[in-house]
Amino acid sequence: MKTLSILVALVALTLNANAQSLLATEPETPAERTARELLIAPTQTRDVILNQLDDASQRLWSAPDPAAVLVALGTRAASVFAINQSFGELVAGFLTAQGDADGLARLAAINARTPPITINEDGTVTIDPVPEEEDPE
């Protein structure tokens, strides 16, 4: 029981010390706040784009009929793929610069969902037919 009381007292002292250090911290200057925000913004932007790419990929390739979704996109499908490709390249550059292997693996998994496709001159996109396996007989 005495050990438990000592542990509780130590925890209370630690929490009090942490609270005091938080209270004693000087407020950020406007320059420090701006610097912190400038450091955070690119990472937040990267995460938003990566999440959007993941969501769009899951929606399209997990749809009951992805080909029908591509038909519904019509001649705008090519631009959707081009924009997402550009976003992916942007995020890949950021992840590479940060040495973020987990982020790069996530991006690779997102890209791996896309089957072979053809981007047609009219802006439509079609899923390439899967070659039939030859009968070994």
Q: What is the pLDDT of residues 20-41, one digit of tens each?
A: 555 557 888 999 999 989 989 8
pLDDT at position 88 is: 96
What total number of domains does the chain contain? 1
Pick from 43, 63, 113: which is nearest to 84 by CA?
Answer: 113
Average pLDDT, the chain: 85
134 is a domain residue: no
Max intra-chain CA distance, the chain: 81
133 is a domain residue: no
pLDDT at position 23 is: 53
104 is a domain residue: yes
The pTM of this model reads 0.69
90 is a domain residue: yes
| Tens-place pLDDT, residues 85-130 | 999 999 999 999 989 999 999 999 999 999 999 999 999 999 999 8
Residue span of the structural domain in which 83 resides: 42-127
